[in-house]
Every structure is written in C-alpha cells, then in structure tokens.
A = this chain, B = another copy of it.
C-alpha cells in the first residue's frame, strides 16, 4: 500500500522529465519502464493507458505549481503589508527561485498539453483550462487588492493584467528553453515586475535609477 505509491511516484518522476523534453508522443512507455526498472505489466497496473498517465502527470504538476505560488506570495505577504510592495516582492522572489534552477526551467506541462490538445480527452483539456483560470484568479485577486490602494496610471483590465503574468511565465519558459539561456526566464519576470511597478507606483515615489 505504501510501496505502490512509491513506485507510482517514481514512474511519474521519470515520465515528467521525459515528457517535458520530448513531448507525450515522443515518450515511449518502454523507455519509462526501462528507466524505472519496472515491467510493462507493472506499469499498466498503475496506469490504464497513456492518457491516464498524462492525467496523473498534469494533476500532480498543477498541484505542485499552486503550492509553489502559495508559498512565495504568502511569504511576501508576511514580509510586507502594502499589497503592491508585497506583490512586487513576490515577483522578485519568484524570479530568484527561477534563476536558482540549476539547468533552467524544465518546461511547463500546461503548455505541453496545450500543444497536444487533440491527443487527449476532454477531461485533461478541462483540467488544463482550469489551471490557467486559477492563475488568472490568483493574480487577479492580488492585483485587485493593489487597485484599492493605488489607482493605475493607465486604465487596464485586471483579468488581462493577471493573464499577463501567466503569459510572461509561459513565454519566458519557451524563450529560455529555445535559446538555452536559463536566465532569460528570470529576467522576463523582472521585466514584468517593472511593468507592474510603473503602472501602480505614483510618479512622486518613483526615483530614477
């Protein structure tokens, strides 16, 4: 009962790394069982088929992703009271976390699934959609708190601004991976931070350099 979970986790670990490098179609079950040291029957004992594996993989990825954001932004809230300063600190912490990844960001499963839509069932696509909507709600909540204190310099739609955070993260990952420049992603997050800062911080409180 404990043992089963452990094997399952090991399969998911190996599968996640492989899928992020080669996509779902490029990852064979045979290579997964070779690397985990399990038999084919063993694999199918844990996952009915590849779709089931994808589902488990995506759910685990999203949960972990949410946990990381929870930690970062709740830590930022603990350190400073002001909603704007707290959000800016959160982005700073996020960028530091990303630039500390030894081999750069491995890739986002949400993006992988997005580029594989037709291969999976509706449930997976719905899960993926909800993950992005959760990001929108999360960042939207924080931005609305900021808006109550700081009037934006330009009129902006909060949901669209919240989506901008997700966009820059997803796009930054693609750029970082493609360029093989691990730091690009962290830099993009800091650039977004500059945007948010400029949008909400009154000119008087904004020193040059």
Contacts and interface: CB of A to CB of B under 8 A. Distances in A.
A99 interface: no
B164 A115 contact: no
Contacts of A178: 110, 113-114, 128-129, 131-132
Interface residues of A, number: 61
A188 B163 contact: yes
A23 B164 contact: no
Interface string A165-209: 011111110110111100010011011101101110001001011
Interface of A: 20-27, 107, 110-119, 128-129, 131-133, 153-157, 160-161, 163-164, 166-172, 174-175, 177-180, 184, 187-188, 190-192, 194-195, 197-199, 203, 206, 208-209
Given A153-B198, A166-B175, 4 more contacts: A22-B116, A23-B115, A166-B171, A170-B171
